[in-house]
Amino acid sequence: MTVDAGRAQNLTDLMRDSAEPLIDEWVGVVAALLRGRSTKTELEADFREFFAALLPVVGSDGKDIGGPEFTDLRAFLEEYSRSRVRAGFTPTETASSVFSLKRVVFDLTESSDDPQMFRQLMAFSGLLDALGLLTFESFARVREEIIREQSEQLLELTTPVVKVWEGVLAVPLVGTLDSARTQVVMEKLLEALVETGSEHAIIDITGVFAVDTQVAQHLLKTVVAARLMGAECIVSGIRPQIAQTIVALGIEFGDIVTKASLADALRHALRREGVDVVRSEIA
């Protein structure tokens, strides 16, 4: 697949004329690189689209990649990177798919010693570098999106039990509680009560969007279990809309101590511990 040396050639025309063998070769190289994790058919479909978007901008050296004539290409690469992230490919593997086209095109023009062609190839190389870096950027952006999604879910999973004072534990519940998570948190709290010998536990639900009967049931069970262990639970941060919902559901919190805020709950617990919190006048 080489061209007659000596004849002045335009790289765009050359690539258009050799589109089929070029794509074929490119797919082959990348398929080998990815060791079968993408089928040739999948790659071919992607690369055909890429190639079609690329042809009109061959001749550019990639410095104007933010421009309007690159809109299609940028959109394609963004989507390509997105699908690669989701499929578990590394950024290097993704960018390499783009860089691989260089070698294939270089091979095609191997025997050309036309200085004109050489200059075009240099520009093309710059263009593909810029496009490869673009996939890196898209890749990073998409990965950030995914991480953000996951950390939101994680936040719901990791609810810390903290010791706020000698003898007083607090656990802030955050986000959307499902029964499994509430149960885990409640178990952790009971364990921590034993470990630390604390007699007070504050369960703060300021960050909870909704309390349904199952979450309430876990709360009630925890309070009863804690009581059997000689500890008192205080539920704080019941916002007005949650209070109204709990009442409408018909849930009875009985003689459980509830406080408007975590601070109120702490003050209550400390008083029970025999600690008096007074504001001191600083002269």
Partner 1 sequence: MPPRSEGPEELPITADDDVVRVRQLVRTYAQQTKLSLVDQTKLVTAASELARNTLIYGGGGFARVEEVSDGRRAGVRASFHDEGPGIPDLTLALADGWSSGSGLGLGLSGAKRLVDQFDLDTEVGRGTVVTVTKWKR
Q: What residues make contact with partner 1 under the rule CB under 8 A?
A: 176, 178-180, 209-214, 216-217, 240-242, 244-245, 248-251
Cα–Cα dist 41/169, whole Å: 59
Q: What minimum distance in Å lies between the beta carbon of 214 and partner 1? A: 6
Q: By C-beta, is 83 or 153 nearer to partner 1?
A: 153
Q: What minimum distance in Å lies between the beta carbon of 183 and partner 1? A: 11
Q: What minimum distance in Å lies between the beta carbon of 44 and partner 1? A: 32
Cα–Cα dist 160/171, whole Å: 6
Residue 171 sits at φ, ψ, to 5 deg, of -135, 115
Q: By C-beta, is 75 or 247 nearer to partner 1?
A: 247
Q: By C-beta, is 181 or 259 nearer to partner 1?
A: 181
Q: By C-beta, is 196 or 214 nearer to partner 1?
A: 214
Cα–Cα dist 189/238, whole Å: 19
Q: By C-beta, is 181 or 200 nearer to partner 1?
A: 181
Q: What minimum distance in Å lies between the beta carbon of 258 and partner 1? A: 17
Cα–Cα dist 130/63, whole Å: 7
Single out the residue of 211, 276, 218 nearest to residue 247, CA to CA: 211
Q: What minimum distance in Å lies between the beta carbon of 208 and partner 1? A: 10
Write out the E strands in the chain: 162-165, 168-175, 200-208, 232-236, 257-259
